[in-house]
């Protein structure tokens, strides 16, 4: 079973990074990701910046105040001349010539917030891209549409809560007819056009932008100014299709509802399942996924090169109350009044005999009860059938349900976040049941789980937890229902 990747989830405006370890509930085991997200934005007026929304907050109050003050600042003579030379008609055709000349530098990975535009000169490249991104996202939202980052920049955001410090551009996805927004962008200080060389839709800062007063630099400007590259999407029923890759549709639930992730000291909207949009074909470009320290290309604020990642956080996981199974509880109460005794064969007894109630560790698979599970009908092999099937031949899904509920009930008691994933999640989502033919179920637990305490607690419930390449669990010989599940003819589990 593959190693479970790091996961980030959001709580109270901050995304917390939690590494999960899996536990396999076997017949001898269970992980999924839940993003609880909401979506609401605010627009950016021409010389005003909205401060906060219920979930995502695009700018800090300090940035908003300085931005407003900058709108009253007169431009320099060279900038004024550049503004006069630009076509003022919002409907005019634009090109790279309409982008504001500026010279940017690579800053420390955690330093490139748009707030630094007022203090750092030359400006951080990522700070310019940061402002481009949040301002255009707000502008598009004001038109009733959405826009989210995709590609390597989104992966960088997921890993470090920052934008790539040396990235000249990032890819953005929108459901707006982006060509129709050129005039809307121009009014807000952005030039939007189609790059004749690549065919990509591009947005950059224009000379009449409010921040041009401090960003304009005609002394050795960047060959290519910071900019955004746009991709468009269309929704068809429960599918979303990107114009750049029509052969690969996305499921609507991978995009909506949008969520928020921290970006420097603010937050930004992202797809519901952001990892699905990290490696879109159009945006698959090489990028450094590991940041060991200051980049050799860093020229400013290089001391601030450590990503602000929280490694010890409490996961904001949903807690679902277990449904009380009245029928199973009644059958169990009847059975425990006159339980059957477990009779191990001579071959099984030496390794399976539990000499004390306090033994909770052993070899891999050692205390797993041998059985010959059968495949029952979909949604029919519930744990209640354990009292109806032949001894030693329970429904596979019934045993797995027993194991799954045991671990979920215990993690709830221990206040441990946990959730099902892989095929277990698929069965729950598609069938509202455990897939009949699956040999195990998968559950994700925090990597810092006290496995010794969990192992002892599960042992008290008749379940053996052990470690191989991943933590696993199985029904042990002292489980209350062991006599119904044990098969004398089954080989020892290995």
Put simply, whether the predicted model's pTM sits higher than 0.75 gets the answer no
pLDDT at residue number 38: 30
**Does 56 have pLDDT greater than 80?**
yes
Calpha distance 151→280 (Å, rounded): 6
Angle made by CA atoms 248, 254, 258, in degrees to the nearest 5: 135
Calpha distance 23→470 (Å, rounded): 6
Q: Which of 54-58, 66-70, 319-323, 335-339 has the lowest mean pLDDT?
A: 319-323
Evaluate whether 145 touches 174 at the Cβ level (below 8 Å). Answer: yes
**Does 106 have pLDDT greater than 90?**
yes
**Residue 250, φ and ψ in degrees, nearest 5:** -105, 150
162, 260, 268, 301, 318 from 231: Cα distances, Å: 21, 20, 18, 32, 33
- pLDDT, tens only, 9-44: 233 333 333 444 556 666 543 333 222 223 332 333
pLDDT at residue number 172: 95
User: Where does the pLDDT of residue 386 fall: very low under 50, low under 70, confident under 90, or very high at 90 and above?
Assistant: very high
For range 235-257, the mean pLDDT: 80
Packing angle, helices 396-413 and 451-460, rounded to 10: 120
**Residue 455, φ and ψ in degrees, nearest 5:** -60, -45
User: Where does the pLDDT of residue 130 fall: very low under 50, low under 70, confident under 90, or very high at 90 and above?
Assistant: very high
Q: In sequence order, what are the residues at sequence separation of 6 or more whose Cβ sits closer than 8 angstroms to the Cβ of residue 24? A: 1, 30, 440, 441, 442, 470, 471, 472, 473
Q: Among the ranges 47-56, 280-289, 309-318, 378-387, which has the highest mean pLDDT value?
A: 378-387
Query: Which among 218, 248, 38, 237 has a CA at the least distance from the CA of 146?
Result: 38
- Within a 13 Å sphere around the CA of 414, how many CA atoms are in the beta-carbon half? 21
pLDDT at residue number 256: 84
SS (H, E, C) 134-148: HHHHHHHHHCCCCEE
- Give CA torsion, residues 299, 303, 305, 311, to 10 deg: 180
Evaluate whether 421 touches 1 at the Cβ level (below 8 Å). Answer: no
67, 83, 108 from 209: Cα distances, Å: 11, 10, 26
Calpha distance 223→216 (Å, rounded): 14
Task: Output the average pLDDT for the chain.
Answer: 81
For range 266-291, the mean pLDDT: 68
- pLDDT, tens only, 288-336: 444 444 567 888 988 877 765 544 445 555 666 667 888 999 999 999 9
Calpha distance 108→127 (Å, rounded): 11
203, 251, 365, 409, 452 from 281: Cα distances, Å: 20, 17, 44, 42, 45
Angle made by CA atoms 384, 386, 389, in degrees to the nearest 5: 120
């Amino acid at each position: 079973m593959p190693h479970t990747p790091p996961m980030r989830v959001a709580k109270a405006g901050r995304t917390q990074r939690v590494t999960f370890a899996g536990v396999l509930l076997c017949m001898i085991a269970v992980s999924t990701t839940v993003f609880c997200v909401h979506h609401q934005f605010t627009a950016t007026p021409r010389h005003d910046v909205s401060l906060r929304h219920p979930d995502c907050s695009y700018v800090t109050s300090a940035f908003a105040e300085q931005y407003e003050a900058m709108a009253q600042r007169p431009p320099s003579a060279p900038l004024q001349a550049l503004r006069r030379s630009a076509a003022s008609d919002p409907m005019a055709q634009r090109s790279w010539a309409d982008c504001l000349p500026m010279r940017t530098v690579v800053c420390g990975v955690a330093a490139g917030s748009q707030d630094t535009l007022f203090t750092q000169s030359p400006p951080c490249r990522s700070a310019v891209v940061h402002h481009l991104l949040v301002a255009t996202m707000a502008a598009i939202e004001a038109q009733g549409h959405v826009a989210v980052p995709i590609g390597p920049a989104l992966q960088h955001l997921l890993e470090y809560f920052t934008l790539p410090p040396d990235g000249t551009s990032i890819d953005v996805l929108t459901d707006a007819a982006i060509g129709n927004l050129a005039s809307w962008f121009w009014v807000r200080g952005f030039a939007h056009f189609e790059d004749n060389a690549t065919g990509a839709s591009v947005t950059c800062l224009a000379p009449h932008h409010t921040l041009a007063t401090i960003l304009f630099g005609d002394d050795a400007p960047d060959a290519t100014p910071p900019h955004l590259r746009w991709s468009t999407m269309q929704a068809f029923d429960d599918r979303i299709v990107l114009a750049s890759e029509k052969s690969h549709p996305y499921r609507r639930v991978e995009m909506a509802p949008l969520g928020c992730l921290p970006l420097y000291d603010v937050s930004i909207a992202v797809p519901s399942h952001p990892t699905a949009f990290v490696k879109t074909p159009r945006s698959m470009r090489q990028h450094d996924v590991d940041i060991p320290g200051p980049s050799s290309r860093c020229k400013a604020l290089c001391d601030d090169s450590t990503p602000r990642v929280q490694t010890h956080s409490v996961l904001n996981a949903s807690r679902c109350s277990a449904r009380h199974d009245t029928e199973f509880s009644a059958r169990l109460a009847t059975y425990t009044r006159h339980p059957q005794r477990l009779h191990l064969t001579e071959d099984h007894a030496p390794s399976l005999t539990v000499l004390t109630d306090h033994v909770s560790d052993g070899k891999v698979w050692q205390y797993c009860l041998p059985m010959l599970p059968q495949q029952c009908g979909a949604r029919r092999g519930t744990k209640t059938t354990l009292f109806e099937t032949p001894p030693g031949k329970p429904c596979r899904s019934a045993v797995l349900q027993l194991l799954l509920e045991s671990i979920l009930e215990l993690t709830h008691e221990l206040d441990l976040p946990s959730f099902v994933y892989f095929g277990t999640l698929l069965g729950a989502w598609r069938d509202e049941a455990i897939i009949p033919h699956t040999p195990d179920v998968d559950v994700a637990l925090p990597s810092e789980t006290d496995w010794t305490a969990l192992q002892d607690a599960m042992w008290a419930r008749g379940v053996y937890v052990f470690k191989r390449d991943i933590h696993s669990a199985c029904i042990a010989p002292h489980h209350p229902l062991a006599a119904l599940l044990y098969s004398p003819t089954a080989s020892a589990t290995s």
